Structure formats: structure tokens, C-alpha cells
Amino acid sequence: MTQIRSSHTAARRRPGVLGVHSLDHFSLTVPDLEQARVFYAAFGLQARPRGNTLELYTEGHPQCWAVLTEGKRKQLHHLSFGAYADDLDLFRARLDRMGIERIDPPGGTASNGIWFRDCDGTPIEIKAAEKSSPDAKSQLDLTPSPASTRNAPMRGTTAPVRPRRLAHTLLFARDVPRSTKFYTEVLGLGLSDGAADVVAFLHGVHGSDHHMVAFVKSEAPGYHHSSWDMRSIHDIGQGAMDMAGQGYTRGWGLGRHVLGSNYFHYVQDPWGSFAEYSGDIDYMPVDGEWQAQMHSPDNSFYLWGPNPPDYFTVNTEAA
Ligand SMILES: [Fe+2]
């Protein structure tokens, strides 16, 4: 936690490059806010009612990572990106230059940010905000125990797992190269890696994880999963087992991705999308260079783990 807090005071920027620095929060409509509160609390998040919304926090961190409102069905509502305050006029000028129409904030959303739609019609906000993406690679706790000492706790005596922060969201997109072009040229994200026209991973240019947003091809836009940074592989496995014990048995993991390198376990939420326990994802430093590459989907989806279930890539928002 100390390392995460220090990242707030050490925020830096890549000189001369206009880009958002963080995925400030994502927003969904869901059919039942109480069902959402129970799911995300079981997952280890702090789910706090606020007015007619539910906000998701991680323990000890001030950032609101997600805002949920009640609607007829689960649907991606909007994405909000954080930028440095003195970049907002530059973003306004860029949007004007590109002929991108502004929109009012979606109903009920309090905001003084810049609003427009992405190439799939999803409302997007750019607002002045504190940098919530990390300024250094999140550390994975692999502390060995001294010799002659048992490292594992007794079963049943472990504390519930607590994700440290939002890591990224993966969205369905009708045309992945088109979405990649929009998010790199308009929001200033950087392409990290991709696989054919099927998937693309984008990072923040002012220092972020390997991806803060990713896209996977589908017949309609939508929300596939949110990913949450965990402090250890133990916590990923423990979280998955605790969720299964509370009835959330559907998901995928334990495994390791190739693109991003993170260890993962996905838990299916009540609406057919997922929340991902993630650890040890690659990091793109503010002063580093990364050569974006395109890869074969077969060789880059996951390194090891069980085969994904057939429901893993179903876009319930396409119905
Ligand atoms: Fe993910």
C-alpha cells in the first residue's frame, strides 16, 4: 500500500506528448444494484451506495474505480479518463481539429469534463484528475519463509483478499483496428501489443501497466471484464476459491497471459461478464520505449492454464 500511495506524489509525464494518464473509472448499468454490491463485496472491493449509484473502491485507496447504476440490463455506460489539468485545452483543440462532436454528460452524471463518443458510440469523458495509474510496476509478493518454517497459513484462517487497485478493462469492439486508431489518436494511448484484428492492448504514455484498456472483436460494443491488481499469486488463488465458496463458481483460471504477462483468474459476474484477479502485469515506464508488435492469437492468448470455458467470450450486450 505504501508503494501505491507514493505513486500519487511521484506522478510524472512524458514531455511533449498529449495523452490521458489514467483510466479514471468505468461505468456500467446493471439490472440489480444489490446483486452487484454483494458480488463486488465478495470479490474484495468496497461497494458503497451513493445516491442512486454504487461506487467501487479498493481498501485504503481514495480512488473511485467504477460507478454502477441500475438499468434494464448490464451495459457499458461510459469510460472516464484522467488527464493533467493543463492538457484539457489541448484535448479540446484536438477534438475540434478532428471534427469530433461533443456531447452532454450522460443523464445523471455530474461532470465538468470533456464528453464525446468513441467510434462504437460509447460515451467517453476526459477530465482533470489525479493520476491513478501506477508510476512503477506493482510488486508481487513472493517473500520466502525462513528455512524450517511453514510459509502457508492454515486453511480457513486467511483473511479475505483485498485487490489493490483497478488495473484495466477489456471491452468488446466492432472493429479492433478502428478502436485502436481512435484511442491512440484521440486519447493519446499507446499500442502495446495486438493479435491480428482480434485483440489490442493499449497503455498510458505517462507511465502505466501494459494495458489500461484493451479491445476484443465482437459484433457489438460492450464490457467484457474489469481487472484488479493483487499482491500475490496466493491472493489470486485464495480469491478464486473464496468466490467459488460463495457460489461464484464460473470463471477461468488460474493461468498466465502472454501479452501483459499477468497471472489471472476470472470470476464471472451475475451478468455474464467478468472480474479478473490479476498479478505481475508488465509495466510501461514514462521514460521507456516499447515496440508494439502484432502476434498470432494462438501463441499469445495465454501461456498456461486450463482451456477457457466456451462462455468466456460471449458478449451479452450483443443480444
Ligand atoms: Fe484482463
Residue carrying C-alpha cell 488495473: 167
The dihedral over CA atoms of 220, 210, 203, 130, expressed in degrees to the nearest 10, equals 110
Cα within 13 Å of Cα(21), Cβ side:
27
Other CB atoms within a 10 A radius of the CB of residue 207 amount to: 26
Q: Using the mean position of ligand 1's atoms as its centre, give its distance from the Cα of residue 201 in Å.
A: 10
Quote the mean pLDDT of the chain: 94
pLDDT band at 9 (very low <50, low <70, confident <90, very high): very low
Ion ligand 1 neighbours (CB, 5 A) are 227, 276
Other CB atoms within a 10 A radius of the CB of residue 94 amount to: 18
Q: Using the mean position of ligand 1's atoms as its centre, give its distance from the Cα of residue 229 in Å.
A: 10
User: Percentage of the chain surpassing pLDDT 90?
Assistant: 87
Q: Using the mean position of ligand 1's atoms as its centre, give its distance from the Cα of residue 226 in Å.
A: 7
Q: Using the mean position of ligand 1's atoms as its centre, give its distance from the Cα of residue 33 in Å.
A: 23
Q: Using the mean position of ligand 1's atoms as its centre, give its distance from the Cα of residue 142 in Å.
A: 21
pLDDT value at residue 11 = 53
**What domains can you pick out in the chain, each with its CATH number?**
15-134+164-318 (3.10.180.10)
pLDDT value at residue 144 = 85
pLDDT band at 71 (very low <50, low <70, confident <90, very high): very high
Sequence-ordered alpha helix ranges (H) in the chain:
2-9, 33-43, 88-98, 176-185, 233-245, 297-300
Task: Give per-residue pLDDT as tens, 18-67.
Answer: 999 999 999 999 999 999 999 999 999 999 999 999 999 999 999 999 99
Q: Using the mean position of ligand 1's atoms as its centre, give its distance from the Cα of residue 104 in Å.
A: 30
Report the predicted TM-score, pTM, of the whole model to 2 decimal places: 0.94
